[in-house]
Chain A
Amino acid sequence: KAGVTQTPRYLIKTRGQQVTLSCSPISGHRSVSWYQQTPGQGLQFLFEYFSETQRNKGNFPGRFSGRQFSNSRSEMNVSTLELGDSALYLCASSFVTGGPTEQYFGPGTRLTVT
Protein backbone atom coordinates (compact mmCIF):
# COMPACT_ATOMS: atom_id res chain seq x y z
CA LYS A 1 0.00 0.00 0.00
CA ALA A 2 1.39 3.40 -0.95
CA GLY A 3 2.25 5.79 1.86
CA VAL A 4 1.24 9.37 2.41
CA THR A 5 2.47 11.62 -0.37
CA GLN A 6 3.02 15.35 -0.27
CA THR A 7 3.66 17.76 -3.10
CA PRO A 8 5.71 19.72 -3.70
CA ARG A 9 8.63 18.56 -1.58
CA TYR A 10 10.39 21.91 -1.66
CA LEU A 11 9.09 25.39 -2.24
CA ILE A 12 10.58 28.87 -2.17
CA LYS A 13 8.23 31.83 -1.97
CA THR A 14 8.48 35.55 -1.36
CA ARG A 15 6.88 37.44 1.51
CA GLY A 16 3.33 38.43 0.70
CA GLN A 17 2.71 35.59 -1.73
CA GLN A 18 0.41 32.68 -1.09
CA VAL A 19 1.11 28.97 -1.31
CA THR A 20 -0.88 25.74 -1.60
CA LEU A 21 0.44 22.41 -0.36
CA SER A 22 -1.09 19.07 -1.22
CA CYS A 23 -1.39 15.81 0.68
CA SER A 24 -2.66 12.44 -0.53
CA PRO A 25 -3.44 10.04 2.32
CA ILE A 26 -2.97 6.31 2.45
CA SER A 27 -5.75 4.57 0.54
CA GLY A 28 -8.74 4.07 2.83
CA HIS A 29 -7.68 6.71 5.34
CA ARG A 30 -10.27 9.42 5.78
CA SER A 31 -8.61 11.67 8.32
CA VAL A 32 -5.82 14.06 7.34
CA SER A 33 -3.98 16.21 9.85
CA TRP A 34 -1.45 18.96 9.18
CA TYR A 35 1.51 19.98 11.33
CA GLN A 36 4.10 22.72 11.16
CA GLN A 37 7.64 21.92 12.27
CA THR A 38 10.15 24.67 13.06
CA PRO A 39 13.37 24.63 15.08
CA GLY A 40 11.98 27.15 17.54
CA GLN A 41 8.42 25.95 18.07
CA GLY A 42 8.82 22.27 17.32
CA LEU A 43 5.86 20.35 15.95
CA GLN A 44 2.56 22.17 16.13
CA PHE A 45 -0.88 21.01 15.05
CA LEU A 46 -2.54 23.09 12.34
CA PHE A 47 -5.84 21.35 11.61
CA GLU A 48 -7.51 18.05 10.91
CA TYR A 49 -10.03 17.11 8.25
CA PHE A 50 -12.36 14.17 8.15
CA SER A 51 -14.94 13.53 5.43
CA GLU A 52 -14.34 16.99 3.96
CA THR A 53 -15.02 18.70 7.30
CA GLN A 54 -12.55 20.47 9.54
CA ARG A 55 -12.89 18.82 12.94
CA ASN A 56 -10.02 20.36 14.86
CA LYS A 57 -7.99 23.51 14.49
CA GLY A 58 -4.77 24.57 16.15
CA ASN A 59 -3.75 28.01 17.30
CA PHE A 60 -2.72 29.53 13.99
CA PRO A 61 -3.88 32.76 12.32
CA GLY A 62 -6.59 32.76 9.70
CA ARG A 63 -3.94 33.01 6.96
CA PHE A 64 -3.63 29.25 7.36
CA SER A 65 -6.53 27.36 5.85
CA GLY A 66 -7.23 23.98 4.42
CA ARG A 67 -9.73 21.77 2.76
CA GLN A 68 -10.36 18.15 1.98
CA PHE A 69 -11.80 16.64 -1.14
CA SER A 70 -14.20 13.73 -1.56
CA ASN A 71 -11.27 11.38 -2.29
CA SER A 72 -9.73 12.39 1.09
CA ARG A 73 -6.89 14.34 -0.53
CA SER A 74 -6.22 17.53 1.36
CA GLU A 75 -4.71 20.90 0.63
CA MET A 76 -3.50 23.61 2.93
CA ASN A 77 -3.14 27.21 1.92
CA VAL A 78 -1.11 29.97 3.48
CA SER A 79 -1.87 33.49 2.32
CA THR A 80 0.25 36.61 2.73
CA LEU A 81 3.36 34.66 3.58
CA GLU A 82 5.64 35.88 6.35
CA LEU A 83 9.27 34.98 7.00
CA GLY A 84 8.15 33.06 10.09
CA ASP A 85 6.11 30.70 7.94
CA SER A 86 9.32 29.04 6.76
CA ALA A 87 8.99 25.51 8.06
CA LEU A 88 8.57 21.87 7.27
CA TYR A 89 4.87 21.15 6.79
CA LEU A 90 3.88 17.59 7.53
CA CYS A 91 0.62 15.90 6.84
CA ALA A 92 -0.51 12.67 8.40
CA SER A 93 -3.37 10.33 7.65
CA SER A 94 -5.20 7.85 9.80
CA PHE A 95 -7.95 5.28 9.47
CA VAL A 96 -10.38 6.54 12.06
CA THR A 97 -12.92 4.00 13.20
CA GLY A 98 -14.35 4.12 16.71
CA GLY A 99 -11.50 6.05 18.25
CA PRO A 100 -8.07 7.55 17.66
CA THR A 101 -5.58 5.48 15.75
CA GLU A 102 -1.98 6.04 14.84
CA GLN A 103 -1.15 8.69 12.29
CA TYR A 104 1.14 7.98 9.36
CA PHE A 105 3.18 10.88 8.09
CA GLY A 106 4.21 12.01 4.67
CA PRO A 107 7.74 13.19 3.82
CA GLY A 108 6.80 16.83 4.27
CA THR A 109 6.99 19.99 2.24
CA ARG A 110 9.90 22.29 3.04
CA LEU A 111 8.69 25.89 2.60
CA THR A 112 11.20 28.71 2.55
CA VAL A 113 9.92 32.28 2.58
CA THR A 114 12.39 34.99 1.50
Chain B
Amino acid sequence: AQTVTQSQPEMSVQEAETVTLSCTYDTSESDYYLFWYKQPPSRQMILVIRQEAYKQQNATENRFSVNFQKAAKSFSLKISDSQLGDAAMYFCAYLAQGAQKLVFGQGTRLTINP
Protein backbone atom coordinates (compact mmCIF):
# COMPACT_ATOMS: atom_id res chain seq x y z
CA ALA B 1 0.00 0.00 0.00
CA GLN B 2 1.14 3.51 -0.72
CA THR B 3 2.09 5.73 2.19
CA VAL B 4 2.87 9.42 2.50
CA THR B 5 4.99 10.86 5.30
CA GLN B 6 5.33 14.46 6.37
CA SER B 7 8.02 14.59 9.03
CA GLN B 8 7.43 18.18 10.11
CA PRO B 9 4.27 18.51 12.22
CA GLU B 10 4.82 22.27 12.54
CA MET B 11 6.85 24.92 10.77
CA SER B 12 7.08 28.66 11.17
CA VAL B 13 8.54 31.37 8.97
CA GLN B 14 8.84 35.13 8.96
CA GLU B 15 6.64 36.99 6.55
CA ALA B 16 8.35 37.54 3.17
CA GLU B 17 10.83 34.72 3.75
CA THR B 18 11.01 31.31 2.07
CA VAL B 19 10.00 28.02 3.66
CA THR B 20 10.23 24.42 2.47
CA LEU B 21 7.85 21.69 3.58
CA SER B 22 9.01 18.09 3.26
CA CYS B 23 7.16 15.04 2.02
CA THR B 24 8.26 11.50 1.25
CA TYR B 25 6.15 8.70 -0.12
CA ASP B 26 6.39 5.03 -0.76
CA THR B 27 5.04 3.30 -3.85
CA SER B 28 5.98 0.55 -6.24
CA GLU B 29 4.18 2.26 -9.11
CA SER B 30 5.98 4.21 -11.82
CA ASP B 31 3.06 6.39 -12.91
CA TYR B 32 1.29 8.49 -10.32
CA TYR B 33 0.45 12.04 -9.31
CA LEU B 34 1.47 14.10 -6.31
CA PHE B 35 -0.31 17.09 -4.86
CA TRP B 36 0.01 19.69 -2.17
CA TYR B 37 -3.22 20.84 -0.58
CA LYS B 38 -3.70 23.72 1.82
CA GLN B 39 -6.32 23.68 4.58
CA PRO B 40 -6.77 27.05 6.31
CA PRO B 41 -8.75 27.43 9.56
CA SER B 42 -11.95 27.56 7.48
CA ARG B 43 -11.25 23.83 6.79
CA GLN B 44 -11.75 24.23 3.02
CA MET B 45 -9.16 22.05 1.29
CA ILE B 46 -7.49 24.01 -1.51
CA LEU B 47 -5.28 22.56 -4.22
CA VAL B 48 -1.92 24.33 -4.27
CA ILE B 49 0.11 22.46 -6.85
CA ARG B 50 0.24 19.21 -8.80
CA GLN B 51 3.09 17.09 -10.19
CA GLU B 52 2.90 14.20 -12.64
CA ALA B 53 5.50 11.52 -11.93
CA TYR B 54 6.41 11.13 -15.60
CA LYS B 55 7.42 14.80 -15.84
CA GLN B 56 10.98 15.61 -14.89
CA GLN B 57 10.32 19.33 -14.72
CA ASN B 58 9.29 20.56 -11.30
CA ALA B 59 5.87 22.20 -11.14
CA THR B 60 5.56 25.90 -10.31
CA GLU B 61 2.51 27.99 -9.44
CA ASN B 62 3.39 31.62 -8.73
CA ARG B 63 5.13 31.66 -5.31
CA PHE B 64 4.76 27.89 -4.90
CA SER B 65 7.17 25.38 -6.40
CA VAL B 66 8.08 21.77 -5.78
CA ASN B 67 11.28 19.78 -5.73
CA PHE B 68 10.33 16.37 -7.07
CA GLN B 69 12.97 13.68 -6.66
CA LYS B 70 11.43 10.52 -8.09
CA ALA B 71 14.27 8.16 -7.26
CA ALA B 72 14.35 9.37 -3.68
CA LYS B 73 10.53 9.44 -3.52
CA SER B 74 10.65 12.97 -2.20
CA PHE B 75 8.26 15.81 -2.98
CA SER B 76 8.91 19.05 -1.12
CA LEU B 77 6.99 22.31 -1.38
CA LYS B 78 8.76 25.67 -1.41
CA ILE B 79 6.82 28.80 -0.60
CA SER B 80 8.60 32.01 -1.56
CA ASP B 81 7.82 35.46 -0.20
CA SER B 82 5.57 33.98 2.51
CA GLN B 83 2.38 35.89 3.21
CA LEU B 84 0.10 35.90 6.23
CA GLY B 85 -2.57 34.23 4.13
CA ASP B 86 -0.30 31.23 3.62
CA ALA B 87 -0.83 30.19 7.23
CA ALA B 88 -2.60 26.82 7.14
CA MET B 89 -2.22 23.06 7.37
CA TYR B 90 -0.46 21.72 4.32
CA PHE B 91 -1.07 18.17 3.15
CA CYS B 92 0.98 16.19 0.71
CA ALA B 93 -1.09 13.66 -1.23
CA TYR B 94 -0.48 10.75 -3.60
CA LEU B 95 -2.78 9.55 -6.35
CA ALA B 96 -2.16 6.33 -8.22
CA GLN B 97 -2.61 6.14 -11.96
CA GLY B 98 -6.15 5.03 -12.81
CA ALA B 99 -7.54 5.70 -9.35
CA GLN B 100 -9.36 8.48 -7.55
CA LYS B 101 -8.20 7.59 -4.05
CA LEU B 102 -5.94 10.25 -2.54
CA VAL B 103 -3.50 9.08 0.13
CA PHE B 104 -2.62 11.94 2.45
CA GLY B 105 0.27 12.65 4.77
CA GLN B 106 -0.40 13.73 8.34
CA GLY B 107 0.04 17.40 7.49
CA THR B 108 2.35 20.26 8.42
CA ARG B 109 0.97 23.26 10.27
CA LEU B 110 2.59 26.39 8.85
CA THR B 111 2.64 29.59 10.89
CA ILE B 112 3.63 32.91 9.35
CA ASN B 113 5.13 35.42 11.77
CA PRO B 114 4.57 39.10 10.91
User: A residues engaging B (CB < 8 A)?
Assistant: 31, 33, 35, 42-43, 45, 48, 50, 55-56, 58, 88, 90, 92, 94, 96, 99-100, 102-108, 110
Contacts and interface: CB of A to CB of B under 8 A. Distances in A.
A102 B50 contact: yes
Contact of B102 (A35, A55, A107): A35
Contacts of A43: 91, 102, 104
Given A42-B107, A107-B43, A108-B43, A99 B98 contact: yes
A3 to B, nearest CB: 9
Interface of B: 33, 35, 37, 42-47, 50, 91, 95-107
A45 B47 contact: no
Given A42-B107, A43-B91, A107-B42, A102 B101 contact: no
B100 A105 contact: no
A103 to B, nearest CB: 6
A99 B97 contact: yes
Given A105-B44, A105-B45, A107-B43, A100 B96 contact: yes
B49 to A, nearest CB: 10
Contacts of B97: 99-100
Contact of B99 (A42, A56, A106, A107): A56
Nearest to A42: B106
A106 B43 CA distance: 9
Given A43-B91, A100-B33, A107-B43, A50 B100 contact: yes
A90 B45 contact: yes
Contacts of B106: 42
A100 B47 contact: no
Contacts of A42: 104-107
A90 B12 CA distance: 27
Contact of B47 (A56, A58, A104, A107): A104
